[in-house]
Chain A
């Protein structure tokens, strides 16, 4: 089955700097790659996603890139702010009615 690896497990950046989180997946049939943000004590929240027919997607300060050949995708957060501090999870699925397989998460700390 699908296996998703996520790096780094923790990341500290200065406010205003950029943060990059990387994930790799194993199943070439996967075609949907969402990112979730989870603040302490709250539910995971979908922040951006990308499908395999697209190489990059951007939404304000966040962007996701996908390299299907290498089977990896990345989350980029620019101009980080303290409220970006949270745990971020990447995931992969084959779309349709298939469930998500999650990476282990990255704890991002933005230092003011």
Chain B
């Protein structure tokens, strides 16, 4: 598996502001992904974060709203920009090694007021 940490674990933010979430892995990984999980719902992929190239976004998610950085093989950030109450959710990063398995970080619980 992998040891994955996320910062912050939770935050309460005002609408119109931005929050950057960090994801750190204990060893190099090929792929990192960002998901959103709204209360009582499943996981929805936001984007795939590739090291050395721009992130690949899923339908309904755009770079201006969710800019992502992947400066190296152990770290990524997701920014939630110009937040509204609809952005209140849990944001999770996941990592994939050479094999197929994906492991999740502990998540960041975001509340927008």
* A positions within 8 Å CB-CB of B: 32, 34, 36, 42-46, 49, 51, 89, 93, 95-97, 99-105
A97 vs B48: C-alpha distance when bound (angstroms): 9
The stretch among B16-24, B61-69, B81-89, B100-108 that forms the contact with chain A is B100-108
* B positions within 8 Å CB-CB of A: 1, 30-31, 33, 41-45, 48, 92, 94, 96, 100-107
Q: Are A44 and B101 in contact (CB under 8 A)?
A: no
**Which residue on chain B has the smallest CB distance to residue A101?**
B45
What is the number of contacts between chain A and chain B, taking CB atoms within 8 Å? 49
A44 vs B45: C-alpha distance when bound (angstroms): 14
Q: Are A97 and B42 in contact (CB under 8 A)?
A: no
CB B62 to nearest CB in A, in angstroms, measures 17
Q: Are A43 and B105 in contact (CB under 8 A)?
A: yes
Contacts A43-B92, A43-B107; A100 near B41 (Cβ below 8 A): no
Contacts A43-B105, A43-B107, A97-B31; A51 near B100 (Cβ below 8 A): yes
